[in-house]
Structure 1
Amino acid sequence: MMTHWIKSNSTVFGKYLFVKGLSQKVNSKKFEVGKTVFQSLNGRDLLSFEGYTRNEVYSLLWVATELKNVQQSLRLGKRVGLIWSNPIAKASLTHASQNLESSLCCVHENQLFGSSNNYEMLGRSLASTSDIIFLDVPSWSQSNVEEFAAGSNRPVILISSRDLSPAVVYSELLSFYETYGFLRRVILVYLGPGNNPALNTYFTVFPTIGGHLRYVVDGVIESQASWEKGLRLATKFNTEIKQFEKVDEAIDRAHAISTCSHNLSHMHLKLKDVKEMDLDWTFVQSDSHKGLSVSKDLMKAAGHSLIHEVINNQSWIFQACIAAHTSDYRPIIQPPRFEGVD
């Protein structure tokens, strides 16, 4: 039985997990290996992983895996809309649209509003010229994203907001699967500030796929709602969410590390640390076009960095979103073994 050790706002007694007055019995049922069953995503939004089942998470990865590995030409001819801030996201979606022979219309986040912000009306307006809309809007809150989606009658895919980054994390999941051959039981360590959208996203998606999350944060977890949802899911699926005080303890026997651009010296990763500890993990980093919280020699070290693989996989995740969320696309390849083999 896995226990969920959290340094603040929670207490574990026996088989019960208490979080801010909420208690749930730990489910000791084994996370069973099962065959992935494709679930249609046609017409759905991807604003977060909340409400997504394990098979639904795997279904988009299944489509992305097929598009990346099977040489076939998809002429979807879709109209793709994008509100962007990160140039890497724009470049990835440009490549994705071209591969699917679809048109792309881009608007920079800073060009949108005047004196008042009406997100619902903006969603309705952009939907009139798009078949699917992608949002890369780091200044928007999640409630702003939801208002936009409420006004749109087209699928809305969130790349990243102030609070969550589901499409970016999808790219990381695809990279982890390609590296390790499975996602269930993958141990991910997050290092960085407590207000990062990737961390908030990990809280919900990693328990859902049967993965384990460790984290070392500077300060406190800003999104208590995401944290509490993660604890409930971890209890439901018998996985682990655990906070550590020390980096070396957190990364011990972990598979991968996720970090972001920050100035926290005690979380700066160097190649000599890897060699001294004889570690065999890989890492990813959000905001990779900005300042690095990892040393340049480590980023270049073969077999450790997944930064560029994740950037490359963004395009395949975006293509999968366009195909799966705007049509009844169904993959023809056998389901990948995302859960591994017992």
Structure 2
Amino acid sequence: MELKTKTKEASLEHSLTGRDFLTLDDYNEEELSYLLQLATYLKNARKAGKNVQPLKGKTLGMIFEKSSTRTRVSFEVGIFQLGGTGLFLSKNDIQMGRGEPIADTAKVLSGYLDGIMIRTFSQAVVEELAENASIPVINGLTDTYHPCQVLADIQTIQEIKGGLKGVKIAYIGDGNNMANSLMLGSAVMGMDISVAAPTGYQPDPSITRKAISIANDHGSKVEVTSNPQIAVDQADVIYTDVWASMGQESEQMVREQLFSTYQVNRDLCSLAKKDAIFMHCLPAHRGEEVIAEIIDGKRSVVFQQAENRLHAQKALMLALMG
């Protein structure tokens, strides 16, 4: 049995090398489970003071067209801890920001680097970069998806709940990139998810349909509603995000009115299971999408999930670039 397990892991390891990480539905349950196991191993090794540096001599280029705290620090520290080097490339530093074709940038960087992480607005930019690069491309965030965050979220849920099957996530608020990726990640891993968002602000219908199809194959459930009480009912995880994401600042006042009944507060949380946890991808606006009592309370695991960005992304880099 041990030999079979090692052979299976070696096969998975080989199948991930050189791959891109653009959306979670590009990976199956077995592959994501392997990444989670690797993330746990790297986290435990770090806590035990062990240096695991299999990426010595490797370089990750980090393209940022959107500002960041967690994405930049976790990737830059992560590649360093694995023995490699991270190169920060803002839109003002590279010619792609001045009109150089994405395909040209991808081909040039492929000659210098071992991997690319990009955080940008358009998913099409990430996909074109990946199509033309001969090295792995990691989606650090777009307006459509945030797969790295959800990989760390799944790791956090697994750590706290002891497993994923049958876990219900209630996502409350804007049906944005987080909602899209949470639906896909939950579906692939066999978790139930209920997304509550106002009409007109619900997740992308095509992504919702895709998530429902995947969930049907895994015996889980994906639901979209405009009623936050229905979503939170008997939930194991309550998740929210800011009401106005980066680039939507001009809509802040309008969104505050539209989303006022979607605040995660004591009354809403009382409908979830007694041991339900609270999650938020951060940064958070206390008093808007969540009250301070909840995000700073005992049920909140927001800083554990933030830390897991480091470990999950180290696993990702190691699997793709190793």
- TM-score bracket relative to the smaller structure: 0.7 to 0.9
1:163-200 deviations in whole A, cap 9, x for unaligned?
A: 11111100100100111000111111111123x11111
Larger deviation: 270-279 or 281-290? 270-279
The alpha-carbon deviation at position 238 of structure 1 amounts to 2.1
Q: Tell me which of 99, 124, 136 is aligned to 2:81.
A: 99
Provide the secondary structure at the position in 2 that maps to 1:188.
Answer: strand
Q: 1:199 aligned to 2:195?
A: no
The alpha-carbon deviation at position 276 of structure 1 amounts to 8.5
1:238-271 deviations in whole A, cap 9, x for unaligned?
A: 2111233322222121111221111321111224
Larger deviation: 198-207 or 111-120? 111-120
The answer as to whether partners of 2:183 and 2:211 remain within 8 angstroms in 1 is: yes
2:51 — aligned with what?
73
Q: Tell me which of 223, 233, 249 is aligned to 1:252.
A: 233
1:70-100 deviations in whole A, cap 9, x for unaligned?
A: 3432222221111132122111112212211
Q: Give the structure-2-normalised TM-score.
A: 0.83
Q: 1:231 aligned to 2:212?
A: yes
Question: 5+ residue gaps in structure 2?
Answer: 244-255
Provide the secondary structure at the position in 2 that maps to 1:199.
Answer: helix
Question: 5+ residue gaps in structure 1?
Answer: 1-34, 328-342
The answer as to whether partners of 1:193 and 1:217 remain within 8 angstroms in 2 is: yes
Q: Tell me which of 125, 131, 137 is aligned to 1:150.
A: 131
CA distance in 1, matches of 2:108, 2:279: 36
Shift of the 314–278 alpha-carbon distance from structure 1 to 2, 3 Å rule, reads: closer
1:211-262 deviations in whole A, cap 9, x for unaligned?
A: 1110111224352221111121122222111233322222121111221111
Q: Tell me which of 13, 17, 20 is aligned to 1:45.
A: 20
CA distance in 2, matches of 1:287, 1:308: 9
2:62 — aligned with what?
82
The alpha-carbon deviation at position 152 of structure 1 amounts to 1.1
Q: Aligned letter for 2:217?
A: K
The answer as to whether partners of 1:259 and 1:293 remain within 8 angstroms in 2 is: yes
Provide the secondary structure at the position in 1 that maps to 2:63.
Answer: strand
Q: Tell me which of 45, 48, 64 is aligned to 2:39.
A: 64
CA distance in 2, matches of 1:323, 1:52: 16
CA RMSD for the aligned pairs? 2.2
Q: Tell me which of 157, 163, 179 is aligned to 1:176.
A: 157
Larger deviation: 101-110 or 163-172? 101-110
CA distance in 2, matches of 1:325, 1:218: 38
1:15 — aligned with what?
none
The alpha-carbon deviation at position 119 of structure 1 amounts to 1.8
1:43-69 deviations in whole A, cap 9, x for unaligned?
A: 111101223111001111110000111
1:258-306 deviations in whole A, cap 9, x for unaligned?
A: 211113211112246546877431122234256651112211112x112
The answer as to whether partners of 2:241 and 2:284 remain within 8 angstroms in 1 is: no
Q: How many residues align?
A: 289
1:293 — aligned with what?
289
1:122-176 deviations in whole A, cap 9, x for unaligned?
A: 2222222221111222x2x222111011121111111211111111100100100
CA distance in 1, matches of 2:203, 2:194: 16
The alpha-carbon deviation at position 318 of structure 1 amounts to 1.5
The answer as to whether partners of 1:43 and 1:326 remain within 8 angstroms in 2 is: yes
Provide the secondary structure at the position in 1 that maps to 2:308.
Answer: helix
CA distance in 1, matches of 2:271, 2:204: 35
The answer as to whether partners of 2:281 and 2:306 remain within 8 angstroms in 1 is: no
Q: Tell me which of 196, 211, 220 is aligned to 1:216.
A: 196
The answer as to whether partners of 1:193 and 1:219 remain within 8 angstroms in 2 is: no
CA distance in 2, matches of 1:59, 1:125: 31
Q: 1:134 aligned to 2:129?
A: no
* Larger relative contact order, structure 1 or 2 (CA cutoff 8 Å, min sep 6): 1
Shift of the 307–109 alpha-carbon distance from structure 1 to 2, 3 Å rule, reads: farther
Shift of the 165–278 alpha-carbon distance from structure 1 to 2, 3 Å rule, reads: closer
Divergent runs of 4+, >6 A: none
